[in-house]
Structure 1
Amino acid sequence: MQTEFLHGENNAAPIDIPAIGLRLQVRIAPDATQALATLIETTDQPGFGPPQHRHEVETEVFHVVQGRYLFDVDGKQTIVSEGETIVAKQGTTHRFINIDDQPSRLLVLITPGWDATDFFSELRDVMANGLPDPRVLKAFGDKWRIDFVGPPLTQPAELAPDALSA
């Protein structure tokens, strides 16, 4: 078995999706793992996160590198902080929101791996003018076998950064 060292310069350029406050970089592309996994790093602006969705094929493992998030997985909500990890298994509905007062970062392991560069580049185009019409988002999701089933989370007042410091 051959070991492969992945150099930083092999990482894709950042992808920005302002509608969901996201900056993303692919750290390990699926071709480096024979499509067994993809690793991405996200930076999420305060108060932002993705729409509620479900992957038909992939499991996502979220590790918080910096900050705090409120995750909703299959209707159960939990706060996940720096150094903690949460799993959204294949078929579960999930979404999250950065509840910190500064940008927060995640490492996300996706298995099996898929082309995150193409997916998020296309999602950036779909969301160029903000959250799109649900029919447009559904058509995009169908192509990737991802069901978009609800809106992004909103930050509960009791978790707002100014409420937490009071």
Structure 2
Amino acid sequence: MERKKFLLTTAAAIPALLVGQNLTAQKPKRPNKGFVVKATESRFGEKTLLGGKNPNDIKVSQKDTNGDLTIFEYTGNEKGGPPLHIHLHQDEIFFIVQGEYLFQVGEDKHNLKAGDTIFLPRTIPHAFAQLTENGKMFFLFQPSGKMEDFFGELGKLNAPPPPEQGAKLFVEHDMKIVGPPLKF
């Protein structure tokens, strides 16, 4: 009787094992070599200008990391920033290279300058404003989610979208606007 129970249990487990192997086998491979992305270039040579004048270059793509990470280099040529928003699925980290920025994370506000880093946890309302005429920062999303597509869509516009269109873009990319841009 024990042998029959063992055989039935083993037979029932085989489909689950095969499904697990198929899920593992279907994951895309990561690159087997490192790569370099030069200054003022983007990972795959595309150019994304936010607002028609602010380069936002992909340095490490979700395609490189199986969706685990995306890193952007943003060069700001005007003051201001996005509305207060949340990411439903991504943590975000900013590293300031040049200029000065005001960040809000929840209720807390922070002034950041070159060399400073800030962590923004997922589901916490946040926004930033560039306070200087020119600025540069690296920022990353973990996991990548739909962020590369989001910035690709924004890059197709020559100016910030009207509020309704902007809110729709945020929702389509797993984010939600929860307040206006920061006043500075």
TM-score bucket of the superposed structures, by smaller chain: 0.7 to 0.9
Partner of 1:28: 60
Larger Cα-atom Rg? 2
Q: Does residue 132 in structure 1 map to residue 162 in structure 2?
A: yes
Question: Could you tell me which amino acid in structure 2 is paired with residue 147 of structure 1?
Answer: K
1:32/1:11 Cα in 2 relative to 1: closer, same or farther (>3 Å)? same
Asked whether the 8 Å contact 2:102–2:110 carries over to 1, the reply is yes
Give unpaired runs (5+ residues) of structure 1. 156-166
Instruction: Tell me how far apart the structure 1 counterparts of residues 49 and 130 of structure 2 sit (CA, whole Å).
Output: 16
Higher RCO (Cα < 8 Å, 6 or more apart): 1
Please report the TM-score for the alignment, with normalisation by the length of structure 1. 0.80
The SS at the match of 2:172 is helix
Alignment of 1:46-57 (within 5 A): 46-57=78-89
Alignment of 1:70-81 (within 5 A): 70-81=102-113
Query: Offset at 1:115?
Result: 4.8
Partner of 1:109: 140
Instruction: Tell me how far apart the structure 2 counterparts of residues 44 and 35 of structure 1 sit (CA, whole Å).
Output: 26
The SS at the match of 1:31 is helix
Q: Does residue 67 in structure 1 map to residue 99 in structure 2?
A: yes
Question: Could you tell me which amino acid in structure 2 is paired with residue 130 of structure 1?
Answer: P
Question: Could you tell me which amino acid in structure 1 is paired with residue 74 of structure 2?
Answer: T
Please report the TM-score for the alignment, with normalisation by the length of structure 2. 0.73
Q: Which region of structure 1 is more displaced relative to structure 2, 47-56 or 1-10?
A: 1-10
Instruction: Tell me how far apart the structure 2 counterparts of residues 114 and 55 of structure 1 sit (CA, whole Å).
Output: 10
Instruction: Quote the sequence identity (%).
Output: 25
Judging by fraction of residues, say which structure has more strand: 1
1:138/1:130 Cα in 2 relative to 1: closer, same or farther (>3 Å)? closer
Q: Does residue 152 in structure 1 map to residue 181 in structure 2?
A: yes
The SS at the match of 2:63 is helix
Question: Could you tell me which amino acid in structure 2 is paired with residue 132 of structure 1?
Answer: P
Asked whether the 8 Å contact 1:26–1:116 carries over to 2, the reply is no
Instruction: Tell me how far apart the structure 1 counterparts of residues 31 and 110 of structure 2 sit (CA, whole Å).
Output: 40
**1:88 corresponds to which of 102, 120, 127:** 120
Asked whether the 8 Å contact 2:89–2:174 carries over to 1, the reply is yes
Structure 1 ranges of 4+ moved more than 3 A: 114-117, 127-131
Q: Does residue 17 in structure 1 map to residue 25 in structure 2?
A: no
Give unpaired runs (5+ residues) of structure 2. 1-29
Instruction: Tell me how far apart the structure 2 counterparts of residues 121 and 27 of structure 1 sit (CA, whole Å).
Output: 14
Asked whether the 8 Å contact 1:52–1:94 carries over to 2, the reply is yes
Residues matched between the structures, number: 151
Instruction: Tell me how far apart the structure 2 counterparts of residues 45 and 71 of structure 1 sit (CA, whole Å).
Output: 18
- When the two chains are superposed, the root-mean-square deviation of aligned CA atoms in Å is 2.3
